[in-house]
Amino acid sequence: MKRTGGSTANAGQILTTYLADKLDRPVVGLTHQALAELLAEKGVSAELVERVEVLLDSSTVGRFAPDAGNQDLAQDLLQELDILINALERAL
């Protein structure tokens, strides 16, 4: 059985796990607004908060999109995840 979207879904899982660890609270199930407010309270810039939201949206859409198994798309998302986590490390 072929799994599609594994890498794109993994990007979202990695980011939510990272944020939960850094914020010391679960973030799965939070609305975008609640997550944005939580990050802002921790001093994260609005631009960085937006990048978090975009990556989470992209990983969710990637799980269900017809080209979810596209390796280039998955690689791009994972590369952005790496850049984003580095930026969050400096901000949090």
| pTM > 0.85: yes or no | no
Residue spans of the domains in the chain: they are 6-91
pLDDT of residue 68: 53
DSSP 8-state class, residue 26: -
Six token digits for residue 3: 């799994």
- Confidence label for 2 from pLDDT (cuts 50, 70 and 90): very low
Residues 44, 60: Cα–Cα separation, whole Å = 22
With contact defined as beta carbons under 8 Å apart, do 18 and 85 qualify?
A: yes
Q: Give 26-77 pLDDT, tens digit per residue.
A: 998 899 889 999 999 999 999 999 999 999 988 887 666 655 556 777 888 8
